[in-house]
Chains A and B, each alone.
Chain A
Amino acid sequence: MMSIKSIHQGLIARDFSCAELVLRYQNAITRDNPRLRAFITVTDDEAVAAAARIDKRLAAGETIGMLAGVPMTLKDNISTRGIRTTCGSRMLADYIPIYDATVWQRLQTAGGILMGKSNMDEFAMGSTGETSWFGATKHPQDADRVPGGSSGGTACAVAAGLAVYGLGSDTGGSIRQPAAFCGVVGLKPTYGAVSRYGLVAHASSLDQIGPIAATAADVAMVYDVIADRDPCDATSDTATRVSAVSHLNDSLSGLRIGVVSTGSEWVEPIVLASLERAAQVYQSLGATLVPVELPLLKHAIPAYHVIAGAEVASNLARYDGIRYGYRSDQGDSRQERIVNTRTEGFGQVVKRRILFGTYVLQQAQYERYYKRAIAFRRQTTQMFADAFERCDVLLMPTTSTVAFRSPAAQYADQDDLFFADTFTASVNLAGLPAVSVPCGSDLAGLPVGMQLVGKRFAEPTILNAAHQFEQATASVFVRQGVSV
């Protein structure tokens, strides 16, 4: 598996051309994508043209940036001008955006080579990678397991060596959980750190775009490029972003790591053991361990469902088949046509969440459920703020298990799957940054991820902590992939 740095060095040393590099990745996609379904759309022509531009710049002796010429992928809910953006849904199966998302504009400017649009749970709702209209993504190591979701295609593509890095989106864990399941690194940035302009909305107060890559250093490089203010996103924070790359070799001496014990009764022994080992590694690196309780954690998922559901009901009201998207040809009145369009165009999970959100937003339920969830969100934010009085970084599981067995629909009505996002969704409620990093594997070799959570805009701190852990445990979690 190639790192961004090794590709950059290879390109400038002319060890290989960008065209050769892209061809290697295209061959890997041709070989593996029919089995893995990591990509919904493969952008061969665009990739070849972009590679030619990089080679031309190199031939002209130009200096190129770190991301220039690096093959990457975008989750298929990130708008790409002229390239279909489906959200994994029948509703948008033929939708071609007329503008680029800000993150894609920034990565294009940096010279990113788009290999394709990656598969996802429909409208980013789901934690299995199985609810896409275009078919389920498979776990890169085990066809009987799910890759996680909703950014399962991006995580799978990176883990399988079909892209060097990719962007996902995270509303309740959708970057971190598939990263943990697939054994790669995934960052959910601070709410407002990365522009959401051009991200097809799921739950707007929770959604955040972030990178998935093989290492924390690669994630940091991508974060530095995409994190900036954006006048096209009213929720883009005005705070100054600090470069994560420039802090990658800071000493951890004196760093206070809050080891979260709350919820350990829901967590599999292999995950607990891996986190315990990780805490010891941090101690050996000079960090101080501080025991931390997050007492409200167990209520995070019900509150998350109310807030996310309400926002889903509002955001997805726009799909009426008139201006864009799927349109049913059944129905005699305009209203019947709209109902049929939505009923045929959306999958079961999406429809269930719209119904739930529509219910909690009705006047009679609003006070009882929606206002309660919003008040709880404030308390959650305060709970994390209290914890950060005593520590700099929180260490907790990303997920309570390794990758679920496929098909995970068999668990759909069970508590296990419902509460599986507890450790990640609570972080979205508070708008904090968090990174999932591989920290072990079970006897079958399935990866285990740990989550490092920081204060708002502490991406440099958590990515450095992730990087230091990788350095200290080097080669333990090395994976196979494309080599040039």
Chain B
Amino acid sequence: MISRQKLDETARLAALSFEDDQLDRIGREMAAILSLVDEIPVLDEADDAMFQAVGTQRDDAVRPSYERDEILQNAADTQDGFFTCQNGKARL
């Protein structure tokens, strides 16, 4: 069981908002999955080895990058060649 206070705090950290009944339902689903996680038998606590076996690094060299206009083209709003945080409102 995850407390309502904990769920609210988690939603705030995730920058998401939920209806009350929706959050209660998701909390129950999460608790059900986590009870199954508690049943996982663990033999050792060593770290994940997945990334140790792989890895390709680029040369440490300057390469051409993108034009400012290209970078900005997907933004909902821009001003003077910058992203804006709030369109139509005073900057914070």
Residues of A within 8 A of B (CB): 94-96, 98-99, 191-192, 205, 229-238, 296, 299, 301-303, 305-306, 313, 317, 320-327, 329, 332-335, 337-340, 342-343, 346, 351-352, 354-356, 358-360, 362, 368-369, 371-379, 381, 413, 418, 431, 456
Contacts and interface: CB of A to CB of B under 8 A. Distances in A.
B55 A354 contact: no
A352 B16 CA distance: 10
B55 A235 contact: yes
A375 B50 contact: no
B1 interface: no
A234 B54 CA distance: 8
Contacts of B10: 355, 358-359, 362
28 contacts: A98-B70, A191-B54, A234-B57, A235-B56, A237-B55, A238-B54, A299-B40, A299-B41, A302-B36, A302-B37, A302-B40, A320-B15, A321-B76, A322-B75, A322-B76, A323-B83, A324-B75, A343-B17, A352-B26, A354-B16, A355-B30, A356-B30, A356-B33, A359-B30, A369-B34, A375-B45, A377-B50, A456-B53
A327 B77 contact: yes
Interface of B: 2, 6-7, 10-11, 13-18, 26, 29-30, 33-34, 36-51, 53-59, 66, 70-71, 73-77, 83-89, 92
B81 to A, nearest CB: 13
A96 B75 CA distance: 10
A354 B86 CA distance: 24
A342 B56 contact: no
A236 B50 contact: no
Contacts of A96: 73-74
Given A94-B74, A237-B56, A238-B55, 11 more contacts: A98-B71, A192-B53, A235-B51, A237-B54, A238-B54, A313-B14, A322-B85, A324-B74, A334-B86, A358-B10, A359-B6
